């Protein structure tokens, strides 16, 4: 038996707590930004809304009088006292009203009286439900972070399509949390017990079997249906029911019962969660784009630009401390607390400002790139656009653009769209022109919508029709786009 030693160098990027909070703020929908700000206002008395004032009863007791217990006098402090040298010069300079006036307002925001908005359903409530259930698992801080990463990787249909190894790498690189495939898999199994049934499945087959297993626990006879999906899933998707019937030795009535059980299952467990509470699942858009006499105008919803500022009363307390002669330990502790709260408030205001800048920068780049669509509303006018295009135009990271695209909405005169709607790859036509794959998908969808359901168009025929229109496309690409549009093959579209 021999022992081998090796030296490995691993590069990890550990994000600061401020950077992590900024990323979280960026993902917060406009509808719940108010709640996030209220939380910060409750936690930090040095932060206030512009129309609020400082209330005297918030003054720490240490500033009410210079009298204090002997145990806290300056004489009792040692030379290396951590409270001995507190620098507050930036907060009390003469003529420096920056702190009290450290508030936020900028151009490019909608008026306080917003134009009429069209509510748009968002799947945020789905993730909120998962996170609420996560709180019942009684996990330590480390495991909770891993479970949060898993939930964050679940897509809006309820599927976990990200590889386990990729989740492990994300945790190590982004949060400096070391874990293993086995540990992540164990937590995935626990999350798969959450509601709605079928959540966190990797495939449709697993999703349906998870739901049947839940019914089995409830006492329903679903063993045969589970066997059908486990052993004959390919036949089930192709509607080769006679093979399932023979393989499981079922009668006609038995086959019908099994198919009824399976077809009642939900193939997209995350897709209709918002229907549970419509009031919470509708949000106002983050942006508004209007055509003003042939010129596009972009505004950011004013709810994203709250009037926040640093409490003037807290700055006055620092000035009072600076003017005082007798500075005992208790007062030093209090002034350090105040300084930390002011710093925290300044950071939060800066983070909200950065959020606004990032949103506007990203949406402006998208609007300029897709100008023809915003002028006409014609989906076929959408240009090819990938995350990298917008990242290069804005100077933002691709991951930042992705967060904005996946969580934000824009209202236009043609409807309300999630920003990720505008992203698509390119395809070359016979003439050499690059067109958006979304344009091709729209034409493909229109062709299928107009087909005879008694004789649906095959993928080969659809390919021919698209090629006749000048789109240089292969049959396998047509099949891929059809699947992305959730349109079944011709045989399954046939109606009697």
Tokens for 244, please give them.
């399932």
| Domains contained in the chain, CATH given | 126-264 (no CATH), 287-422 (no CATH), 426-492 (1.10.10.60)
What is the chain's mean pLDDT, rounded? 78
Q: What is the pLDDT confidence band of residue 147, given thresholds at 50, 70 and 90?
A: very high
The per-residue pLDDT for range 374-398, each reduced to its tens digit, is 999 888 788 888 888 899 999 988 8
- Cα dihedral across residues 56, 57, 58, 62: positive or negative: positive
pTM above 0.85, yes or no: no
Instruction: Give the pLDDT score at 283.
Output: 57
Compare 195 and 220 and report the one with higher pLDDT. Answer: 195
Secondary structure of the chain in HEC code, one letter for each residue: CCCCCCCCCCCCCCCCHHHHHHHHHHHCCHHHHHHHHHHHHHHCCCEEECCCCCCHHHCCHHHCCCCCCHHHCHHHCCCCCCCCCCCCHHHHCCCCCCCCCCCCCCCCECCCCCCCCCCEECCHHHHHHHHHHHCCCCCCHHHHHHHHHHHHHCCCCCECCCCHHHHHHHHHHHHCCCCCHHHHHHHHHHHCCCCCCCCCECCHHHHHHHHHHHHHHCCCCCHHHHHHHHHCHHHHHCCCHHHHHHHCCCCHHHHHHHHHHHHCCCCCCCCCHHHHHHHHHEECCCEEEEEECCEEEEEECHHHCCCEEECHHHHHHHHHHHHCCCCCHHHHHHHHHHHHHHHHHHHHHHHHHHHHHHHHHHHHHHHHHCHHHHHHCCHHHCCCECHHHHHHHHCCCHHHHHHHHHHCEEEECCEEEEHHHHCECEEEECCCCEEEHHHHHHHHHHHHHCCCCCCCCCHHHHHHHHHHCCECCCHHHHHHHHHHCCCCCHHHHCCC
pLDDT at 90: 56
Q: What is the pLDDT confidence band of residue 91, given thresholds at 50, 70 and 90?
A: low
Q: How many residues does the chain have?
A: 496
Backbone angles phi and psi of 429, in degrees to 5: -85, 175
Cβ-contact 36, 198 below 8 angstroms? no
Residue 149: pLDDT above 80? Answer: yes
């Amino acid at each position: 038996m021999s022992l081998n030693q090796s030296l490995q160098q691993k590069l990890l990027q550990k994000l600061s707590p401020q950077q992590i909070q900024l990323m979280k703020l960026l993902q917060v929908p406009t509808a719940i930004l108010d709640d996030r700000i209220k939380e910060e206002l409750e936690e930090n008395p040095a932060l206030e809304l512009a129309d609020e004032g400082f209330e005297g009863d918030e003054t720490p007791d240490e500033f009410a009088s210079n009298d204090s217990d002997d145990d806290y006098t300056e004489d009792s402090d040692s030379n290396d006292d951590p409270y001995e040298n507190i620098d507050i010069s930036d907060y009390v300079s003469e003529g420096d009203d920056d702190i009290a006036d450290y508030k936020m307002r900028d151009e490019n925001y909608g008026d306080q009286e917003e134009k009429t908005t069209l509510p748009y359903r968002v799947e945020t409530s789905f993730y909120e439900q998962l996170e609420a259930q996560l709180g019942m698992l009684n996990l330590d801080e480390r495991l909770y972070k891993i479970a949060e990463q898993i939930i964050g990787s679940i897509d809006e249909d309820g599927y976990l399509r990200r590889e386990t190894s990729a989740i492990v790498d994300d945790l190590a690189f982004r949060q400096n949390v070391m874990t293993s495939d086995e540990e992540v898999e164990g937590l995935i199994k626990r999350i798969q017990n959450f509601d709605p049934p079928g959540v966190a499945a990797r495939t449709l087959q697993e999703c349906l079997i998870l739901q049947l297993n839940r019914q089995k626990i409830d006492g329903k006879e679903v063993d045969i249906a589970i066997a059908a999906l486990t052993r004959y899933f390919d036949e089930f998707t192709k509607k080769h029911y006679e093979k399932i019937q023979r393989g499981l030795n079922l009668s006609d009535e038995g086959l019908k019962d099994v198919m009824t059980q399976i077809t009642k299952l939900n193939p997209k467990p995350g897709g209709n969660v918002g229907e549970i509470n419509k009031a919470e699942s509708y949000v106002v858009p983050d942006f508004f784009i209007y055509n003003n006499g042939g010129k596009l105008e972009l505004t950011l919803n004013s709810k994203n630009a709250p009037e926040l500022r640093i409490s003037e009363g807290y700055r006055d307390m620092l000035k009072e401390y600076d003017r005082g002669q007798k500075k005992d330990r208790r007062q030093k502790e209090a002034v350090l607390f105040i300084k930390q709260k002011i710093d925290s408030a300044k950071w939060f205001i800066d983070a909200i400002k950065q959020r606004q800048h990032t949103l506007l920068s990203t949406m402006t780049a998208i609007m300029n790139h897709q100008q023809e669509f915003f002028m006409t509303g014609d989906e076929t006018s959408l240009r090819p656009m990938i995350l990298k295009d917008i990242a290069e135009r804005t100077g933002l990271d691709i991951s930042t653009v992705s967060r904005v695209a996946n969580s934000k909405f824009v209202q236009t005169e043609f409807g309300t769209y999630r920003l990720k709607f505008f992203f698509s790859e390119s395809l070359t036509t016979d003439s050499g022109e690059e067109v958006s794959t979304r344009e091709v998908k729209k034409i493909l969808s229109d062709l299928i919508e107009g087909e005879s359901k008694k004789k649906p168009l095959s993928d080969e025929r659809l390919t021919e029709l698209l090629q006749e229109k000048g789109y240089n496309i292969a049959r396998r690409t047509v099949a891929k786009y059809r699947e992305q549009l959730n349109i079944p093959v011709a045989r399954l579209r046939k109606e009697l």
